[in-house]
Structure 1
Amino acid sequence: MTNFSRTQRIRKDVVWTDGGVVACQHRKAAEVGAAVLASGGDAMDAAVATSFAVGVVEPWMSGPMGGGMTTLWRAGEARAETIEFGMRSPAGLDVADYPLEPGRQAADLFPWTRVQDDRNILGATSVAVPGTVAGMALAHERYGTKDWADLLAPAVALAEEGMQLDWYSSLLIASAARQLAQDPDAAAMFLADGQWPDIAGWTTAATARLDQRTHAATLRRLADHGAQDFYDGAIAGMLVEDVRAKGGCLSLDDLRAYRAQAAMPRTIHYRNAVIHAPSGLSAGSELVKTLQQMEAAFLPGEAPTAASYGALASGLGAAYRDRLAHGGDTGESPRAPACTTSFSVVDRRGNMVNVTQTLLSMFGSHVVSPQTGMLLNNGIMWFDPEPGKPNSLAPGKRCLMNVCPTVGQVGDRMFAIGASGGRKILPAVANLVSFMVDFGMDLEAAFHTPRIDASGATGTVMDEDLPPDVAEALASLGPVATAKRTVHPYAFAVPAGVMREAGRNCGATEIMSPWGDAVHEGEV
């Protein structure tokens, strides 16, 4: 039994508009993207601007030092595409530097055998080659209409000002204070005398801000000199110097060799809908498997039932077992060919995009690059440290990500959705696709409907608001636990989505996210 209120109900309004919409996990970043749309920019222009802005106002979730994917829809051509910008392990990585502790399980997102001193999770030894800047540059090159520097300018301004430290940011920093204190530069940025920030009292307004001026200077150089500076210029030099000084093996050659790529998504017909799941080393393959199993397992009705939730849990379980056994970069065409942040954009012409980008863990490696002012990723944690598996740790290898940016069409409705939350991402996207396709829900209804999560190694977690017959159906598959949707921690993933119908648009974010919001271009 929890201590939380059992009568409290939280909702978010979904507003329809003729203009474009940005749905993001931080309203400030959504406003940046909406302003780009209001100025006549393409959905991809807004996505690029939002990407860099959210890396400032939610720096522990994503940013230029991370990686991810985007799945997009070009309305004029009726064409979907995925842009892959996942991380890679450095070519100089030595597996011997990650000795195992047999019999002990890793303490973070994945059920790997623990590595001594958590070297694959914390510190510079956990840093992989970042891809976000290359991904945004490729997206801009292919679809952008606004100047690159102009799209980065709002993020520069936000970093100059410094993100505001309120109760929610203080809560998140406090949850990682012990690890942040191990890195002097992270401690200097996020902590006060080794403790979480001293913000205003609980009944007064917060006024404290992070000092992100170095972050701003790096963004300004990136705006002025272009994305290549991150991979073969001054920024690259600073990044490599900082990582190596802290014990990592990232090299200039790793950065120079990095390329983002555009690819065809995994497109399937699911009932009367067309679903475009992401390509590459994402959770797209598992989404396809889950939906295919669900289609054969039950017939849709007016609302989700014990049968539909059971079919979803069964499909997710089978997909995850296959992923753990076969997923990874094998050097061939792959079978799948955390925190994180996810945002979706639709413009007035109907172009859509979901971007899911991440440092992997919240606060990534818990290490800050002092010369760039940015948190570094811990992408090495995506690899299984045990040898002999498709996803085993090795040098120069692509990371098997959990991201699942998805575009779908059912009838005359189009939607773009994604989520943050590590292994919880796939269940959230599968829940939402089912709600909208199987039961005809619009975005507002789907985002308020209780979900299940079947991403753990054993059993299922179900929203405590679901009826007993759902628990009974899930119990036939394995252990069942109930959980409440709360602000922290999240028992379920944190989605963001947009929808278009009859020429009008709307957006929605996770109802429990205190920062998340959908902003339309008429609001800025």
Structure 2
Amino acid sequence: MKKSKFYLFIITAALSVQSCTVSLELDKKAKTFNKAAVVTAHPLASKVGVDILKMGGNAIDAAVAVQFALAVVYPNAGNIGGGGFMVYRSSKGEINALDFREKSPEKGHANMYLDKQGNVIEDLSVYGHLSAGVPGSVDGMVEAHKKYGKLDWKTLLNPAIALAEKGFPITKQQAEEFNEYKESFQKYNPSGAPILKTTSWKKGDLFQQQELANTIRRIADHGRDGFYKGITADLIVKEMHKGNGIISYNDLENYKAVWRQPVTGYYRGHKIICMAPPSSGGPALVALLQSVAQYPLGKWGFQSDSAVRVMVEAERRIYADRAKYLGDPDFIRIPVKELTDSIFNSERLKTVNLTKATVSSDVKAAKFPGYESEETTHFNIVDSEGNAVSITTTLNNSYGSRVFVSGAGFILNDEMDDFSVKPGVPNIYGLVGGKANAIEPNKRMLSSMTPTIVEKDGKLFMVVGTPGGSTIMTSVFQTIVNVIDYQQNAQQSVSSPRFHHQWLPDQIDVEKNAITPKVRKSLENAGYKISPRGNIGRVENIIILSNGKLQTGADPRGDDTASGF
């Protein structure tokens, strides 16, 4: 088994410059560790990662253990019934990327969610058995471990088995979610599910999942075949038959994760290394940074009037490109080179009149010749040998399809909604897609996941990523700007309030404390629509300091936790 050191990551108009910035209510103290760090969405998953590292495992070993642990302790997004991406960088600068995105079943087709009149059937691609794509998480972890792992496979899955079997005390946020989704779980699991009980859940209640423990034990004993064949496959196919789903034995057996070449670009002397299609995150992130590089964001100030306008207008155009050009590269030609051309992106934004808002209906995708609820989860790991991992993985909507595989104890994804169910019709995140992302048999659906590496002077500088559906790309974009332009530390960069624009709908979504009232009024006077909303993303960040120490940022919007030693 290969044991080389590596880093792996599972992302001119005249304006009066207003330097007035948001009064940040931040936890400014960033935890710093000497040798190794793990940042995940749940404290128990972070502990599992650290324990594996202390046993002598490397970052990939810890990532595998964390992935399975999250499937137990973070069921709304942690998973074995979903998929994801990771980006890789060796200590010598070698880069690679693993695509373990879900796929359409072989019976999937472009009209499967339309009625006889060609209209979209509400919620059919979002909830229930038919919304599930073929899961990729287990095969992805198997492939990563096969290529770079160090410890025995069974050793890595034992912590997740123990957590599922013995149970763990749920957090306050989890208790609220379990109760909130009870009716939905009952609807799609009439014969019962581990998450259902007669009384309400409360903080500290023990959550035990014996069926899930049995499933993970089969994967520990048989590797890939413990999920895609045998008893688990039987249970998945049986569950499909119960709810008119279409995942078959062939779909499961034929699923394969794919190694891809990462997308790269530059921003203010930093090299950006991120995920390639079918994630739109990589091309979009590079294009966003290239678009705003010509403007003095640092001088203007955090969320100043000028900075917000420039960033929003860049986002508006990049999301229009996403809708037209991005999809599965195994099915269509994607103009990644053109989409990430620094001169093109710079010149394109330079022609925009920044004194007033562009109307999104007037913005069309660029022309080239020849041509995710937000309940994803993200984690970063750096070990004491210098290996590092960042992975973004998802079920799509919170708790995915809401369907538990009876007898197997895990939730199936609802990733089929990430396809363009009908060109021009938005998905649950309001994203509009085109023919490039239409449903076809065995095709991977487009994603917004953006696991990213940033290098400075040829050395690893930052590991960053987030959940957040359609807001993932803009959240990673803003976090990188926060660090490079606004000189924020790792914790500040993820705690800072965020905003988001995705072309359609034509509005700036803002968190409660994002953009000061004065700047909001100025933007509204210029024609921008401000739309208040809840939390945007849950970013995890690790910055490698000049002294070699690891500075961490765990997003305070959830139960996210940084651990290390």
Q: Structure 2 CA distance, aligned partners of 1:225 and 1:164?
A: 29
Task: Measure how far apart 1:71 and its partner are.
Answer: 1.5
Is residue 512 from structure 1 mapped to residue 557 from structure 2 by the alignment? yes
> CA 1:142 to 1:313, structure 2 compared with 1: closer, same or farther past 3 Å?
same
Correspondence for 2:78: 62
| Closer, same or farther: CA 328–13 of 1 in aligned 2, 3 Å | same
Q: Classify 1:191/1:138 alpha carbon distance in 2 versus 1 (closer, same or farther; 3 Å).
A: same
- How far, CA to CA, are the matches of 1:117 and 1:169 in structure 2? 28
CA contact (8 A) 1:313 1:474 kept: no
> Does residue 350 in structure 1 map to residue 386 in structure 2?
yes
How far the C-alpha of 1:375 sits from its partner, in A, is 0.6
Query: Where do residues 174-189 of structure 1 align in structure 2 (5 Å cutoff)?
Result: 174-184=179-189, 187-189=192-194
Change (3 A) 1:17 1:287: same
Percent identity reads 27
Opposite residue 291 of structure 1, the aligned amino acid is L
**RMSD between superposed Cα atoms in Å:** 2.5
TM-aligned CA distance change 1:409 to 1:441, over 3 Å: farther
- Cα distance change of structure 1 residues 78 and 55 upon mapping to structure 2, 3 Å threshold: same
**Residue 255 of structure 1, CA deviation:** 1.4
Amino acid at match of 1:511: P
Task: Tell me the SS of whatever aligns to 2:207.
Answer: coil
1:225-270 deviation line (CA, Å, top 9, x unaligned): 1123322333223222222232101011111211112222111111
Q: CA deviation at 1:428?
A: 0.7
Aligned counterpart in structure 2 of residue 198 of structure 1, from 190, 197, 200: 200
Distance 2:440 2:165 in 1: 39
Matches within 5 A, 1:30-109: 30-75=46-91, 77-100=92-115
SS of the residue 1:146 aligns to: coil
Please give the residue correspondences for 1:294-305 in structure 2 after superposition, counting only pairs within 5 Å.
294-298=292-296, 300-301=298-299, 303-304=301-302, 305=304
Match of 2:227 among 230, 233, 246: 230
Structure 1 residue runs without a partner (length 5+): 1-5, 103-112, 201-205, 484-489
Bigger shift: 184-193 or 128-137? 184-193
Q: Check conservation: 2:273, 2:454, Cα contact below 8 A.
A: yes
Q: How does 1:265-284 map to 2 (within 5 A)?
A: 265-282=262-279, 283-284=281-282
Q: Which one-letter code corresponds to 1:87 in the other structure? A: E
Residue among 424, 436, 441 paired with 1:395: 441
Quick one: which amino acid aligns to residue 377 of structure 1?
N
Q: Which residue of 2 aligns with 1:288?
A: 286
Letter in 1 for 2:275: P
**Structure-2 separation of matches of 1:336 and 1:49:** 33
- CA 1:393 to 1:192, structure 2 compared with 1: closer, same or farther past 3 Å? same
Paired with 2:25 and 2:437, the residues of 1 have a C-alpha distance of 42
Instruction: From the superposition, tell whether residues 8 and 190 of structure 1 become closer, same or farther in structure 2 (CA, over 3 Å).
Output: farther
Confirm or deny that 1:467 pairs with 2:516.
yes
Compute the displacement of 1:418 (Å).
0.7
Q: Confirm or deny: 8 A CA contact 2:264 2:272 kept in the other structure.
A: yes
8 A contact 1:186–1:367 mirrored in 2: no
Matched residue SS, 2:237 = helix
Partner of 2:36: 20
Paired residue type of 2:165 = E
Q: Using the TM superposition, give the Cα deviation of residue 336 of structure 1 relative to its aligned residue in structure 2, in angstroms.
A: 6.4
Output the amino acid matched with 1:147: D
Give per-residue Cα distances to partners, 1:333-356, cap 9 Å, x unaligned: 434692111111111233222111
Distance 1:303 1:117 in 2: 43
2:266 is paired with a residue of what secondary structure? strand
Give the count of matched residue pairs: 490
Matches of 1:303 and 1:101, distance apart in 2: 53
169-178 or 222-231: bigger deviation: 169-178
Task: Provide closer, same or farther for how the CA distance between residues 469 and 459 of structure 1 changes in structure 2, counting only shifts above 3 A.
Answer: same
Q: Which position in structure 1 is the counterpart of 2:332? A: 332
Q: Which residue of structure 2 lines up, in the alignment, with residue 105 of structure 1?
A: none
Normalised TM-score (structure 2): 0.81
Q: For each residue in 1:52-110, what CA deviation from the matched residue of structure 2 results, as whole angstroms up to 9, or x when unmatched?
A: 101100112131110010113222x22232111001110012444422498xxxxxxxx
Tell which deviates more after alignment, 277-286 or 161-170.
Answer: 161-170
Q: Return closer, same or farther for 1:334/1:187 CA change in 2, 3 Å cut-off.
A: farther
**Structure 1 residue 307 displacement after superposition:** 2.2
- Distance in 1 separating the partners of 2:231 and 2:73: 24
How far apart are the structure 1 equivalents of 2:30 and 2:78?
A: 26
Q: Choose from 97, 122, 127 the match for 1:122.
A: 127
1:142 aligns with 2:147: yes
2:481 corresponds to 1:434: yes
Partner of 2:528: 478
Gaps spanning 5+ residues in structure 2: where? Answer: 1-21, 338-373, 424-433
Give the TM-score of the pair, scaled to structure 1: 0.87
